[in-house]
Amino acid sequence: MTIHSHDSAGVGTTVPAPAPWAIRMRDVTVRYPNGVVALDGITLDIEPGEMVSVVGLSGSGKSSMIRTINGLVPITSGSLTVGGHALESTSGRQLRRLRGEIGMIFQGFNLAGRTSVLNNVLVGRLAHTSLWRTLLGAYTDADKQIAFEALDRVGILAKAWDRASSLSGGQQQRVAIARALSQQPRLVLADEPVASLDPPTAHAVMGDLRRINEELGITVLTNLHLVDLARTYGTRMIGLRAGEVVYDGPAATATDADFERIYGRSIEAEDVLGR
């Protein structure tokens, strides 16, 4: 499979996309040291190339689920396979290599504010960069090219040399998406990626994520708590409540009743983003 830059002017290049990854969860339970059970026996299959919205109130376990998938949170029991790699038996260098294949986007953008946009995007190349090159800041030209292409794909190539903290929230989240893209990931995890953005910016960022899924074929898993975003930007929706899956079906046709079952209360105005 090949991919093309969304830019019709053809600035981007054509590179073979790595095959997207599936996620297989079997009776996965996560219990934190303080005794809180974040995930309670979850069994799920996410196929390669799916665009999945994970919906639930805060505390429902959706953030823990995403962090479990790339090994930031260890599994207490059960088995979790990502792209054929069993996560519970992966650690150290192997785990870092695995994480290198999984892009992650956060609610708070999580950029290093005092350094350039380019340096932030190059963080996505760390898993493929030797220690001495990292320490000297001497990234290869090939890695820089990948970073520039990722910035171009989210439309902020012009900001490459700006300080990350000088950008607006929406632009910072685009830098974070470019950071994930520069990993040339097989799976992208997004944890409430638009919760700190205004409605038009939120739609633009969600559009970027959908385009990554459609044009690059990458599996995308997005945590959301807003009803309309979950319906619009996912093909499949998974509802979590108290660490258990309470809904799994198509996103577009999920009814208000379905959401009420996930949230355990009636739908309110604040559950909808609008435009």
Q: Quick check: 17 binds other proteins (CB under 8 A)? A: no
Which residues, 6 or more positions from 29, have their beta carbon under 8 angstroms from its beta carbon?
Answer: 37, 39, 40, 41, 42, 75, 76, 77, 78
Q: Whole-angstrom Cα distance, residue 85 to residue 88? A: 9
Neighbours of 266 (CB within 10 A): 9
- Residue from 28, 83, 87, 99 touching other proteins (CB under 8 A): that is 99
Q: Quick check: 143 binds other proteins (CB under 8 A)? A: no
Q: Quick check: 115 binds other proteins (CB under 8 A)? A: yes
- Nearer Cβ to other proteins (132/253): 132
Q: Could you give the strand order of the β-sheet that contains 23-31, starting from the edge strand earlier in sequence?
A: 37-46, 23-31, 77-82, 85-86
- Nearer Cβ to other proteins (103/243): 103
Name the 3-class secondary structure at 83: coil
> Least CB distance from residue 239 to other proteins, whole Å?
25
The count of chain residues that interact with other proteins, using the rule CB under 8 A, is 35
Q: Whole-angstrom Cα distance, residue 64 to residue 69? A: 9
Structure tokens, 162: 């700006």
- Residue from 98, 147, 220, 262 touching other proteins (CB under 8 A): that is 98
The alpha carbon of 159 is separated from its chain's Cα centroid by a whole number of angstroms, namely: 22
Q: Quick check: 126 binds other proteins (CB under 8 A)? A: yes
Which residues, 6 or more positions from 59, have their beta carbon under 8 angstroms from its beta carbon?
Answer: none
Name the 3-class secondary structure at 24: strand
Q: Quick check: 110 binds other proteins (CB under 8 A)? A: yes
> Least CB distance from residue 34 to other proteins, whole Å?
18
- Residue from 20, 56, 61, 103 touching other proteins (CB under 8 A): that is 103
Which residues, 6 or more positions from 219, have their beta carbon under 8 angstroms from its beta carbon?
Answer: 20, 21, 22, 23, 46, 47, 48, 49, 50, 51, 52, 186, 187, 188, 213
- What track of x and - describes contact with other proteins for positions 165 through 194 (by CB under 8 A)? -----------x--xx--x-----------
> Least CB distance from residue 224 to other proteins, whole Å?
19
- Nearer Cβ to other proteins (166/168): 166
Using the contact rule CB under 8 A, the part of the chain among 15-23, 134-142, 203-211, 241-249 near other proteins is 134-142
Q: Which residues bind other proteins (CB under 8 A)?
A: 70, 72, 96-104, 106, 108-115, 119, 122-124, 126-127, 129, 131, 134-135, 137, 176, 179-180, 183
